């Protein structure tokens, strides 16, 4: 059965400007070519690029492949050294930002309070967010997955109804990121069901929030993700850094 599926590429801290432009142009050409032929699934693509490359992508921007920032500050301007604001990224055509990625939570100590500010600031200024949730290996082994998801989703719970159309969730089991490990289909389905249920609790008048899966997504496991109805797409890290691997992912999603 045909379905819609979204691939969000997270380039993390990779590429110089010429490399970013080349990869983006290749991805755009790939998506445009697919639009000219029939495919089983409707697959959309976006790119979360390093902030320094937003200007580069702006010069070759295509409506076929949206791009956004990997980080965002809630204030429009101010004395926040090293941060980037919504007006700054929007000026270069960015349409979304990642909020709460596990690397930001763990490496840079971003708290739930800070993430709530980032999310609300972005949404209030019309920037869509991909809000990331997920448990660490220790939390998983202690049976705390549901508790962790509840806490993390509650961070944006007050925003889900008003800004429903601007929010996408990415479930990323931290223990499966960059490790080559992939959660079982049953684990993925259960986590996505929990996240969607929490979304409905926060926005009872709305339908389900879209939930992407982000845990070592590769061409050889994309088909199994497509078979899980609760998975609305994928947040792709390593496999998005090579055009060949991302093309294989994209083509596998279109089938």
Q: Which residues are catalytic?
A: 101, 172
- Residue 222: partners with Cβ closer than 8 Å, 6 or more residues away: 234, 249, 252, 253
Rounded Cα gap, residues 137 and 173, in angstroms: 8
Tokens matching residue 255: 């089938």
Tokens matching residue 158: 């007050």
Rounded Cα gap, residues 57 and 125, in angstroms: 21
Q: Which residues of 207-232 are buried (b: 16+ CB within 10 A; e: fewer)?
A: ebbbbbbbbbbbbebbeebbeeebbb
Dihedral sign for Cα atoms in the order 70, 25, 64, 228 = negative
Q: Which residues pair with 211 in a beta bridge?
A: 169
């Amino acid at each position: 059965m045909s379905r819609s599926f979204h691939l969000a590429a997270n380039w993390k801290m990779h590429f110089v400007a010429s490399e970013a432009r080349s990869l983006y142009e290749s991805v755009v050409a790939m998506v445009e070519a697919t639009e000219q032929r029939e495919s089983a699934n409707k697959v959309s693509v976006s790119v979360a690029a390093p902030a320094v490359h937003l200007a580069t992508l702006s010069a070759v921007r295509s409506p076929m492949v949206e791009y956004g920032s990997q980080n965002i500050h809630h204030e429009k301007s101010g004395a926040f050294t090293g941060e980037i604001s919504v007006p700054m990224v929007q000026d270069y055509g960015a349409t979304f930002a990642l909020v709460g990625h596990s690397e930001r939570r763990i490496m840079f100590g971003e708290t739930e309070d800070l993430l709530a500010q980032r999310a609300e600031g972005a949404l209030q200024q019309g920037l869509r967010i991909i809000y990331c949730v997920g448990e660490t290996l220790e939390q998983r082994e202690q049976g705390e997955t549901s508790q962790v998801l509840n806490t993390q989703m509650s961070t944006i719970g007050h925003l889900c109804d008003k800004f429903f159309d601007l929010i996408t969730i990415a479930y990323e089991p931290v223990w499966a990121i960059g490790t080559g490990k992939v959660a079982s289909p049953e684990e993925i389905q259960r986590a996505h069901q929990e996240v969607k249920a929490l979304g409905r609790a926060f926005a009872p008048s709305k339908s389900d929030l879209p939930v992407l899966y982000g845990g070592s997504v590769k061409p050889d496991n994309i088909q199994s993700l497509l078979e899980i109805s609760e998975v609305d797409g994928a947040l792709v890290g390593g496999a998005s850094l090579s055009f060949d691997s991302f093309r294989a992912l994209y083509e596998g999603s279109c089938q």
